[in-house]
């Protein structure tokens, strides 16, 4: 110690009270936890800025921390794994007895136009992408049919219904929605089983129209899987994350979409009602999973809220955005593995920063207390520790 003193503080005379005062000052300076105070916020700020540059809006530091601990990712189907612009591909019109033609091709076409008109009118007031696809239906011939409707209402996760005025002036209950909902209402779907099986196997969503308890039409609606969906699932798998598909569609349609996206069949869950999505998230959480839910609709809000991490795409409803922790401003799910990877990198940086900050204090305090480093060197050491912590955090801006 006496040999080092001339090199460490040549202007100091290490005697008595002066020496004690300088050692005390050195301990106070080197013990300052400024680097520890910077370790976490510097990394969070750099991580959030790096995410924003990539079109990923992170609500707060808590969301960033949760994102770094995710173990399972659940995808909604429509508008998330798929493009979200479904189109009616094929229509099946069994012409139920109450709508059956009395003769002639022209009359048959008029009856079909009537069916399509009822379906389009029912769908027109709904904002659901599938409803909007049906609302665009045009008649095969003649003037567009605009039947009168009353008592219209939308049933979340099921469909729409209302009373429609028939050609004879009689008002009948018309329902347009999921096949499961129609079955629960007592509608016999036996005549359309072949159509349902064929188009469901091709990944189409089947929507039915019923007049009272009679099946009036089936609509095969296809939505294209996003081009990068399979690559996204593969990237998540390489990050050791489990992927799930959750949808209100039937099992055949869900299985077809999952195959295209590369999601394992055992992780596909179909015919799930909106309120059941949140229950499914709870089930995974009870198994010890940290769950991220990716969705875009009003129906997804409960699941987004229940999940450890909610991720909403840019075209998401306002309610879904409010419930989400992360919003993908570019709307593309390619940002999901990037967001989760960046979050984990941020957590690693926080731990690294805390280590270096603690290392400087743990090493500096004993040396200062024993008189081996002067207050000037202590101040320089703490400045260097701050620079190391900030510099390490700024590396996140170049993260790939």
- Which amino acids are annotated catalytic? 76
* Residue bearing tokens 């659940």: 74
Query: In degrees, to the nearest 5, what angle opens at C-alpha 30 toward C-alphas 24 and 32?
Result: 105
Calpha distance 142→161 (Å, rounded): 26
Q: What is residue 269's three-state secondary structure?
A: strand
Q: Read off the tokens for 67.
A: 């994102």
The answer to whether the CB of 86 falls within 8 A of the CB of 224 is: no
List strand residue ranges (DSSP E) for 11-115, in order. Answer: 56-58, 72-76, 87-92
Sign for the CA dihedral angle at 362, 364, 367, 371 comes to negative
The helix-helix angle for 193-200 and 251-261 (nearest 10°) equals: 10
Q: Read off the tokens for 13.
A: 């005379």
The answer to whether the CB of 209 falls within 8 A of the CB of 181 is: no
What is the number of residues in the chain?
400
Q: Read off the tokens for 191.
A: 């005549």
First to last CA, the chain: 47
Strands 149-155 and 268-269: unpaired
The answer to whether the CB of 382 falls within 8 A of the CB of 35 is: yes
* Residue bearing tokens 């050491």: 381
Q: Read off the tokens for 267.
A: 């992780």
DSSP letter at 84 equals: S
Which CA distances in Å does 97 have to 119, 213, 398?
Answer: 18, 11, 67
Half-sphere exposure of 65 (CA within 13 A, CB side): 7
Of all helices (H) and strands (E), which one includes residue 92?
strand 87-92
Q: Name beta bridge partners: 165.
A: 171
């Amino acid at each position: 110690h006496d040999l080092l003193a001339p090199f460490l503080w040549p202007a100091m005379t290490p005697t008595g009270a002066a020496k004690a005062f300088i050692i005390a000052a050195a301990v106070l300076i080197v013990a300052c936890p400024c680097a520890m105070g910077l370790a976490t916020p510097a990394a969070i700020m750099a991580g959030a800025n790096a995410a924003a540059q990539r079109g990923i809006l992170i609500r707060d530091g808590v969301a960033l921390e949760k994102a770094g601990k995710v173990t399972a990712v659940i995808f909604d189907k429509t508008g998330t794994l798929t493009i979200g612009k479904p189109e009616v591909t094929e229509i099946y019109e069994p012409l139920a007895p109450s709508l059956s033609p009395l003769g002639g091709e022209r009359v048959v076409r008029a009856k079909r136009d009537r069916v399509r008109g009822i379906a389009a009118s029912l769908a027109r007031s709904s904002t659901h992408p599938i409803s909007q696809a049906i609302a665009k239906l045009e008649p095969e011939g003649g003037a567009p049919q605009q039947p009168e409707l009353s008592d219209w209402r939308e049933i979340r996760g099921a469909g729409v219904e209302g009373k429609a005025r028939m050609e004879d002036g009689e008002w009948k209950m018309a329902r347009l929605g999921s096949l499961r909902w129609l079955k629960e209402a007592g509608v016999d779907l036996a005549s359309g089983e072949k159509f349902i099986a064929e188009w469901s196997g091709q990944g189409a969503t089947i929507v039915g129209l019923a007049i009272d308890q009679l099946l009036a039409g089936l609509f095969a609606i296809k939505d294209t899987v996003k081009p990068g969906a399979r690559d996204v699932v593969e990237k998540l798998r390489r990050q050791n994350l489990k992927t799930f598909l959750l949808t209100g569609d039937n099992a055949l349609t869900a299985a077809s979409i999952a195959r295209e996206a590369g999601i394992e069949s055992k992780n596909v869950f179909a015919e799930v009602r909106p309120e059941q999505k949140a229950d499914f998230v709870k089930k995974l959480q009870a198994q010890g999973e940290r769950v991220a839910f990716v969705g875009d609709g009003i129906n997804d809000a409960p699941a987004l809220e229940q999940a450890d991490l909610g991720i909403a795409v840019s075209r998401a409803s306002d309610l879904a955005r409010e419930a989400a922790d992360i919003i993908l401003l570019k709307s593309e799910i390619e940002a999901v593995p990037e967001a989760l990877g960046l979050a984990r990198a941020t957590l690693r940086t926080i731990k690294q920063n805390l280590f270096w900050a603690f290392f400087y204090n743990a090493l500096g305090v004993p040396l200062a207390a024993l008189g081996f480093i002067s207050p000037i060197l202590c101040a320089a050491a703490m400045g260097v520790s701050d620079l190391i912590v900030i510099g390490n955090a700024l590396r996140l801006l170049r993260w790939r």
